[in-house]
Amino acid sequence: MNRRYWASSLVLLCCIAGRAAAQTPPDPAGPAPAAEPAPAPDPTPPSTVPVAPVAAPGAGQPPPPAASTKPDAAAGPGVVSSKWSTTIYGFAEFDLMHDTTQSFSDSPGNGLIVRPDVNRLAYNNGRTQTTVRNSRVGVRMSAPASHGMTSAGLIEMDFMGNQPAGISDGSFVNNGTLRVRAAYAKVESDYVDLLAGQSYFLFGEQPLFFPMSIWYFGLPNQAFGRTTQLRLSHLFKTPAVNVDLAASAQRPPQRDSEVPDFQGGLKLSLNGWTGPHTAGSGYAAVDPLTVSVSGAVRHFRVNEFAAAPSRTHKANGAGISLDALIPVIPAASTKDKANAVTLTGSFVTGQGIGDLIGGLSGGASFPALAARAVPRQPTRPTSTPASSSTTPMASSARSTGARSWPASSTTCRPTARSPSAPTTPRAIATTSPKA
């Protein structure tokens, strides 16, 4: 659309320039004074000799136009004049990976390698995968400064979103789900900076201390993650040392706890000691020697471990992270980083912070609840026959739990006999002969 408007303006300017060239150029000395009245005609007849034309000043070149005293004209259609800036960025990434076991998908994280005693077939066979799900697109915006404050915003997405269980491998890889990586607004001033939205955890001072790796983050035992938060920070700058102090209230690890996750961090950088550093598989940057300490305090309130919970249990969690970026062999530029060596390291300890370390669980999970006991139905009382004439078959029926009829005292019942046989009384048990 902008090109179309620019072309229209160009045609309009050409038309105006052509019309102006067809007119008589103005005199640089300004307009001529008004002519006096012509004198009375001379009775002498006019001469027939032609008069030579007077040459225009400037050796035949049109004089430059006089400087205009009018204000500049307003911008035409399609010409946007603003101090806002917008940058669209991103990349398309293709990854080919091979594993010697069938333990992981394209993003292993803190997953465990399958054990041979659990699944020997998956342990002894490999797996090859391809994916473009780590491709990324983002928009970065900044607004003009106002009252000593600058504001900016960022939205970044990839295709590593959650997918339903049970889909085929082709659907999982080829139909990556769009996911929000980061979406926040930031306001900076001389006194305090405010960030609101989804960004990296403050715990671990991410992403400065990320190591170089072709593996998708987070790596095993790496402090890594992003979540919604409200963060306050301030950077104290000097030529030699920078000190960054920050605190944030983040999304609760358990929403039913009703308490945000509180994190804080202190970062110290020596500006005169720099070295190349690559986070992940991206481009190298030159960062100063930096050490930091950060921590998290959180609260949990969970239901009791029962099939029908009737109360809750409360618990607290906390963690601390010590991180360092040390240029062992410094370098001042990424263009000349030959023989440069930079080390990054992190030490994390705490309890109740598994989600801050890439969802680390170590394979542990809650045990399954036992099935609720079903109360027995009351059985009809039975009496033992007083006579010893109860047959062994009846006793066997009682001992095996087979259906039986209530036993009573032995009675005499006539039995059907053939007409030739005499009918005689016979004592039998009242239990069923075969249950």
- Give 168-205 pLDDT, tens digit per residue: 988 989 999 999 999 999 999 999 999 999 999 999 99
Instruction: Give the residue with greater pLDDT, 92 vs 333.
Output: 92
Q: What percent of the chain has pLDDT over 90?
A: 47
Dihedral (Cα; 418, 421, 427, 429), 10-degree rounding: -20
Please say whether the beta carbons of 293 and 317 come within 8 A.
no
Q: What is the model's pTM?
A: 0.65
Condensed to tens digits (0 to 9), the pLDDT of residues 138-165 reads: 999 999 998 889 999 999 999 999 888 8
Condensed to tens digits (0 to 9), the pLDDT of residues 17-48 reads: 444 444 444 444 444 444 444 454 454 444 44
Token couple for 305: 């471990």
pLDDT of 108 reads 83
Instruction: Report helix, strand or coil for 396.
Output: helix
pLDDT of 267 reads 97
**Residue partners of 273: CB distance under 8 A and separation at least 6:** 288, 289, 327, 330
pLDDT of 50 reads 47
Q: Is the dihedral of CA 334, 338, 340, 342 positive or negative?
A: positive
Average pLDDT of the chain is 77
pLDDT of 275 reads 92
Token couple for 116: 């041979």
> How many beta carbons lie within 10 A of that of residue 382, not counting itself?
13
Spell out the long-range contacts of 114-119 with Cβ–Cβ below 8 A and sequence spacing 24 or more: none
Does pLDDT of 4 surpass 50?
A: no
Please say whether the beta carbons of 318 and 349 come within 8 A.
no
DSSP state of 211: P
Span 335-355, mean pLDDT? 91
Q: Which amino acid is at 187?
A: V
Q: Which amino acid is at 7?
A: A
Does pLDDT of 207 surpass 60?
A: yes
- For residue 352, which of 296, 399, 393 has the smallest C-alpha distance? 296
pLDDT of 360 reads 80
pLDDT of 307 reads 85
Instruction: Report helix, strand or coil for 116.
Output: coil
- Rg (Cα) of the chain, in Å, rounded? 46
Q: How far apart are CA 217 and CA 207, in angstroms?
A: 11
Alpha-carbon distances, residue 99 vs 113, 128, 129, 171, 282 (angstroms): 10, 6, 9, 21, 23
pLDDT of 367 reads 79
pLDDT of 366 reads 76
Q: How far apart are CA 308 and CA 349, in angstroms?
A: 34
Span 279-289, mean pLDDT? 88
